[in-house]
Amino acid sequence: MDEYLRRHQAAAYLQERFGVFTVETLAKLACVGGGPKFRRMGRFPYYTRADLDDWARSRMSPPVSSTSELDG
């Protein structure tokens, strides 16, 4: 069964697991788009770890052994 995380918990999870993203970033992306999938219950957004992991991984480059392998 999925565990649902409030935004502050989701940001803490991303910080612990990937070392990036804040509550403010998640809030902004929830408004403008481009952030992880979430669900709402009333006025509160809820995230799952699977959705957070998928989103964070989608923002990573593929493995490289040199910066010259990256597009820019």
Q: In the chain, how many domains are there?
A: 1
Q: Which domain holds residue 40?
A: 4-59
Please write the tens of the pLDDT for every residue from 19-28: 999 999 999 9
Asked if the structure places residue 21 within a domain, the reply is yes
* pLDDT tens digits, 36-63: 999 999 999 999 999 999 999 999 988 9
Length in residues, the chain: 72
Q: Is 47 within the bounds of a domain?
A: yes
Give domain status of residue 20, yes or no.
Answer: yes
d(CA 33, CA 39): 14
| Residues whose CB is less than 8 angstroms from the CB of residue 38 and which lie 6 or more positions away in sequence, other chains included | 10, 30, 45, 46, 47, 51
**pLDDT at 72 exceeding the cut of 80:** no
Query: Residue 70 falls within a domain, yes or no?
Result: no
Q: 72 lies in a domain? A: no
